[in-house]
A = this chain, B = another copy of it.
Amino acid sequence: MKTYTRPLDLKNGRVDMSHGSGGRAMAQLIDELFARHFANDILAEQGDGAVLPPAHGRLVMATDSHVVSPLFFAGGDIGCLAVHGTINDVAMMGARPLYLSAGFILEEGFPLADLQRIVASMAAAAREAGVPIVTGDTKVVEAGKGDGVFITTTGVGVMPEGIDLKASNIKVGDKILVSGMLGDHGVAIMSQRENLTFETTIQSDTAALHTLVVAMLESVPTLHALRDPTRGGLAAVLNEFAHASGHGMVIREAAIPVRSEVAAACELLGLDPLYVANEGKLVAYCAAADADALLAAMRSHPLGRDAAIIGEVIADEHAFVQMETAFGGRRMVDWLNGEQLPRIC
Residues of A at the B interface (CB closer than 8 Å) are 1-2, 16-18, 20-27, 45-67, 88-90, 92-93, 95, 99, 101-105, 134-142, 144-147, 150, 152, 154-157, 159, 166-167, 227-228, 230-233, 236, 239-240, 243-244, 246, 275, 277, 319, 335-343
Contact = CB atoms under 8 A, between A and B. Distances in A.
A232 B22 contact: yes
Contact of A49 (B16, B47, B89): B89
A1 B243 contact: yes
A229 to B, nearest CB: 9
26 contacts: A2-B243, A18-B339, A21-B232, A22-B231, A22-B233, A23-B236, A24-B337, A25-B338, A25-B339, A26-B231, A47-B93, A49-B62, A49-B63, A49-B89, A52-B58, A54-B55, A54-B58, A54-B59, A59-B156, A61-B99, A61-B156, A63-B152, A65-B137, A65-B152, A67-B105, A140-B342
Nearest to A42: B61
Given A22-B230, A335-B24, A342-B142, A61 B65 contact: no
A236 B30 CA distance: 14
Given A156-B61, A232-B23, A51 B93 contact: yes
B228 A61 contact: no
Contacts of A104: 65
A175 to B, nearest CB: 21
A336 B232 contact: no
A108 to B, nearest CB: 9
Nearest to A144: B144
Given A134-B61, A152-B103, A232-B21, A48 B93 contact: yes
A136 B86 CA distance: 11
B277 A22 contact: yes
A136 B63 contact: yes
Given A1-B319, A64-B137, A92-B48, A340 B23 contact: yes
Contacts of A66: 139
A119 to B, nearest CB: 15
Contacts of A244: 46
Contacts of A62: 48-50, 101, 135
A141 B135 CA distance: 25
The 7 A-B residue pairs with the shortest CB-CB distance in the complex, in nearest-first order = A22-B231, A22-B232, A49-B62, A23-B336, A152-B152, A154-B154, A65-B103
Given A56-B54, A61-B134, A342-B21, A101 B49 contact: no
Nearest to A334: B24
A48 B339 contact: no
A53 B63 contact: no
A135 B336 contact: no
A93 B144 CA distance: 36
B47 A341 contact: no
A256 B210 CA distance: 51
A105 B61 contact: no
A249 to B, nearest CB: 14
Nearest to A148: B145
